[in-house]
Structure 1
Amino acid sequence: MAPRRRGNDRPAHRLGESPGPQSPMPSRNEGPASAADLALHRLDVLARAGEVLASSLDYEITLQHVAQLCVPELGDLCVVDVVENGVLRRVATAHVLPQKRSLVHQMTLRNPRPGESPAPAGRVLASGASERLDVVTPDVVASHTKDAEHAALIRAIGMRSHVAVPMRAHGDVIGVLSVGITETDRRFDDADQRLVEEIARRAAFAVENARLYRSAQAEIARREQAEAALQLSEQRFRAITEQSPLSTQRLSPDGRTISVNAAWERLWGLTADVLGDYSVLTDPQLEEKGITPLLRLAFAGTPTALPVIPYDPTVSVAGADERDDATRWIGAYAYPVRDDEGAIREVVLVHQDVTDTRRAESKLRASEDRLNRALAAGELVVWDWDLATNRVECSQNATNFFGIDMGQLGAFLEVIHPEDLPRVKALAARALETGIFDRIEYRLRRSAGRPRWMQSRGHAEFDDDGRAVRMLGVTVDVSDRRIAEESVRVLADAGEILGRSLDYQATLGNLARVVVPRVADWFAVDLLTEDGELERVSVHHPDPARVAIAREVFERYPPRRGAGAWKVIETRTPDWTADIPRRLIEQGAVDADHARLLLSLDLHSYITVPLVARDTVIGVLTLVHAESGRRYERADVALALELARRAASAVDNARLYAQLQDEHRRKDEFLATLAHELRNPLAPIRTGLALLQADGDATRNARTRAIMERQLAHMVRLIDDLLDLSRVTRGTIGLQRRLVDVGGLVASSVEASRPLIDAAGLTLKLDMDARHVVLDADEARLSQVLTNLLNNAAKFTPRGGLITLRTALHGARVRIEVGDTGIGLAATQLESIFEMFARGVESGAYGGLGIGLTLARRLVDLHGGQLWAESDGPGRGSRFIVELPVSAQRVEAAPIDAVPDVSPLRRVLVVDDNVDAAQTLAALLALDGHEVRCAFTGDAALALLDEFHPDIAFLDIGLPGMSGYDLARHLRADARAAQARLVAVTGWGREQDRSQARGAGFDAHLTKPVDPAAVLALLAR
């Protein structure tokens, strides 16, 4: 038996030896070993391997010993690789020569994971079979290394023969044992491979046992740690439960309380002893709020989170004292605790008191709600633009404000009007540099209706490097202000247009050009005519062809009563529609052609408002949106009403101006007529005076005097009519009412007009059905009215014509109608004929001042009646109807005082600074036999009292120096004239003038020119 080679400092065999395949390695001086020696040697190696493998339970140390055993017993080099976590890791190396151990170490460092390289260990791990390289040639080295450096190391080590075998345990490869010959020429054979495989098998079991031992030790350690951790956990749990600020309640499987901590007692204001038999599983308050089913899940073994609810323990716990703040908002977590067998031992309930949070949230929500209401009321949005993400966060009202869900900046930019978007972007870019987002106003896109105007402003925030990181700001809806400003501009322009001209048709045309297209696509004005029809005086649109269509529609299909423009006129209420559906146009059309014309105008929205001037509707103004696609809103109605108010005022002013011009014309005609009417009687009066001076023939003088008296009476009537009209206009005329029968009134009027009727060659026909009807009236004034109507009929009816006067009772009113077959009246004259200075015909061929009918109507009005005219047209005669209220009293015959046949003679004093007037009146009285004295001043009159004591004195009021009133007071104070009757003679005939005369002591009042009959009547009393 060959001696064993135990040293690590010699090669496995001598260089140049060629031992047989079964020969053990001989010593230096020995010859070839026998088979028995080799067998003994292999058994010795296996025995020592067993000792080494059993020497330690640390398999890395054990494997290192195995590697050292295999060198030099089996070869010059040995490495052991073990699979750990699926990766082949080198855990042991050995080499027979110390100087090559560093090369082996470098090879390990450069190839720490052999399984990932083409080296034999990786190939064995992959295949699970041993691999023996009998002779390691350069080609073998190249094919079994991963790179040039790896190959260089193998060559430096001097690998000549190599065997690698798997280490198997329970059928799995857990590592690779590799042995190599580097220092001799010996080659591995089958016997060597079987020996290495046996050592590998035993090493694998040793590794597995070591691992099992290590795993067992780790499990023991883990269990010890777990027990310690459990004990610590229980200690900590008790400490946490007792000291935790969270309310904790331990519950038995039936829901009753085992224990609570101090936090629970503080939370509920209770102690555990008051709970008694209380069970959370039967709490009605928890059942009502839906908590009980969730608790049952925890008691069944499922940890469960309980939602936040308001809970009042005084409702559910019998021993709890009631208090105001007992209710708390509580959330909870219930988790089961099991025993060793897995049964539910208890349930731990941990409460989270969120009462303060809920109250704070409630206050916060209230605050946010107030803020949102304030922002909405102020039409304001607050925004925060994150420049890094381009995300825009806004206040809650932003969606309604902008009409979109705000998020990315792009969404906001999309709603800005395209014409304004460049300005907004440019301002934002400047703000990123300056930090100031200056105030800017812009429009938002809208599919219809007025544009919405926004005003935004803000500022940028910068980081430490001076880069803008966010933009904060506010946006305000300034639509109302912009609309108001535009409305003001439109109204200002409209006001300027409306004030330029009194030609309202031209003015309305100019107004249309202001309104279109700023306020409307269409503008139209329809005015009421005098006969109550609608006339379109203005319609405007940029397209003349469409205007022609609109005119055709109005002419062919005029507005229907009770709808459209007529409804606005009748109700005095604006009519507007935000959207005109096709169905509405088709339903409103008279026929298919009407609908076709309307639809061709592409009408979308309209406003029609009344034109009101001096509380009277004079027409309508209509605004329409068509091809622009805009829609009217309620706020637009106010602008339309204001435009209509101004337009109506302009139309009314223009009409008033035209009326004023017409009145000026009539006034001029009146003055010319008055001059003519006054000159006519003056000519015969002047001629008559000359005749009286030149001719002493009594007969001719009497005829001349009669002519003069008629002309003078005509002048007096003209002046009386003017004075009466003035009194009626100023409301100073007084009615001397008494009971008057209609028959007597008509008789006196006919008697006054009969000479004129007869002279005109006319027939008068009376129809007196109401002759006995009684009126409470001023007989003289009503007679004046009827006389005027009869005289007009005589004046305007050709010779041979017929005048009719009819009276008839209509309920409690009587009608007196004067008709003729004369020149008649046009429809436009039926009302204007009663206006001041109006005359029935244009020429002055018929004479008159044009005030008679005006005076007549106003006198009838004073009696509570009405006067109007009717006619079938020019050349077809006229009818003038007086309607008066009937009196309920009867007429009683009044006694007639006896009038002496001869008037007594009087001493008369006449005082007037107009010498001619005084002497003329004195001469008239002297002719009647009275004793008359004249004075021309007040002082002269008083001087006459020394020799003349008057019975009656006629005093002019407008005396120079001492007025007639003062003279009357002096006469009343003087005994020589205290009993005289004083008569005021003046050109002023107002009631206040008469009252003032009575106050000064006058007994009577006469208005110039004095009627001689009135003077003689006063003398006869």
Structure 2
Amino acid sequence: MKGFSAAEILGQPIAIFYTPEGLAAGDLEQELVEASRIGHTEKETQRIRKNGERFWVNEITVVIRDEQGHLQGFTKISRDITLRKQEEAARLQLETRTRLAVEAAEMATWEWHLPTDRVYWNEQHFLLLGLEVQTGEQKSGLFLNHIHPDDRNRIIAQLNQTIEQRVPYDEQFRIIREDEQVRWMSGYGKVTAEEDGIPVQLSGVMFDITDRKVAEEALREAARRKDEFLAMLAHELRNPMATIRNGLQVLSLTTPTDAKAQSILGMMNRQTDHLVRLVDDLLDVSRISQGKIDLRKERVNLVELVQQAVEAANPLYQSRQRRLYVSLPVTEILMEGDDTRLIQLVTNLLTNGVRYTVDEGQVWLSLEHKEQQAILQVRDNGIGLTQEQQASIFDLFVQVDHSLARSQGGLGVGLTVVKRLAEMHGGRIEVQSPGLGQGSTFTVCLPTLDLPHVNEIVTDPEETVTPFRILVVDDNPDACLTLRIYLELKGYEVYSENSGYAGIKAAERLNPEVILLDIGMPGLDGYETCRRIRQQPWGDSILLIALTGYGQYQDKQRTQEAGFDQHLIKPVKLEPLTQLIKDWMNQKKK
């Protein structure tokens, strides 16, 4: 036990086994005195092995006397109890940690002895009920009487079920404290002791969840108000939009065949259509969230519906300089569905492809039939998605690119509508992306009727090229062109570009006297474009005017720091703009 051989230890003083602190405290002398007085002594203490290791022993010291009672010596019996001491220390440490955790969590604990109805609570249990802390046993009725009357029978029934069926008790309920406060509790318990197969003890915990319940109710109320607001907003916007659209239609019929007037009318109609789509998205997501959309299902040919959506999206792709490649089967894919909502589902995916690709971006749409499922896939070579974005892309009001360069518009509801429409048709949608800058693939699976199918033909939409000393730089082609036309009518020589990089190159080539520069452009924003122009030998004398929808004080500070001369907020009143240019030109001449 102590690591010595008999030859090594015989004749050595017994103090060799004692710890230094034990010897200093006089442990050896006290043991011998005590044994001499009463005949023996017993204690648990530490001793030292030959290698210096300490270990625990139970040690009995017995006095040895001769027949006359004279002291002859002592004998010691030692038993190694190190393992038991380690187990006791570990158990004590665990109990301490558990007690600290329970106290930190403000958790009530209880034990209920069923045969005697004796209940034992910790201090927190009394505090949760608003009672004065007591010691000793309680009766179960004290707890049950504090349960809210509307919850009491349910909790009693659950406790009885726990006893009879040995299933855990896990419930949320209200209590009425002694001060008449109503608080929400979460309780958990189970049978922890049985005798002859009969439960005799339940043990469990209880803690206050009132704050969580209040927060959950606040979230539900906020969601309800949000849905009501979206529905109200969308409906209220329809009235003025109807007037605008009607007026544009009248102008289309009465305006002379002037090319510029017709071009402006066309752009106004496109922007009105865009506004209508945004309002439709608001209405749809509000209706879907409230379960107010009823699908008008009938047998439809999904191939035809996808083709209609492609035809509707082609003008958008042409105006935004995107390529759309389409692969459709030559035979029908029949399913039970709402044709209007299915076209909307495809249109939203195609619009998303435009929004998150750059100029000359490419989008591929394919449709095939596999194992009674229509597989619709829309793939792009756009900005891509991170793993975190893929997890939230279908949530309401989520937009992939929150940076200043996100200039394509949209409310972040289109993909939410797609997901819910797919689910309402018994299908699902998934998204995959290798990562940022590597494009995304959206796959919709919809159940079909069991009919044969054949793959596939490819169609490509036609491509159009958007045309490109005042230089207007704005990534919105319609806004850029309308401003250019207006300034040309005022007699200025006007050029336009649709990106910061192109704007810098054009400025170097044209050497304009005024540059009207948008701020929120993809690739190179207006701030950096301005800074780079100012760094050029030819860029110091140019009048640089920021045209932006950002109008806060800090936004104006940023434009000034970037090197702009003026900061104008969209929509810009064009007469003051031309007057500003005239005043600057006159001042420059002086």
Q: TM-score, normalised by structure 2?
A: 0.38
| Higher RCO (C-alpha 8 Å, min separation 6) | 2
Instruction: Report the structure number with the largest CA radius of gyration.
Output: 1
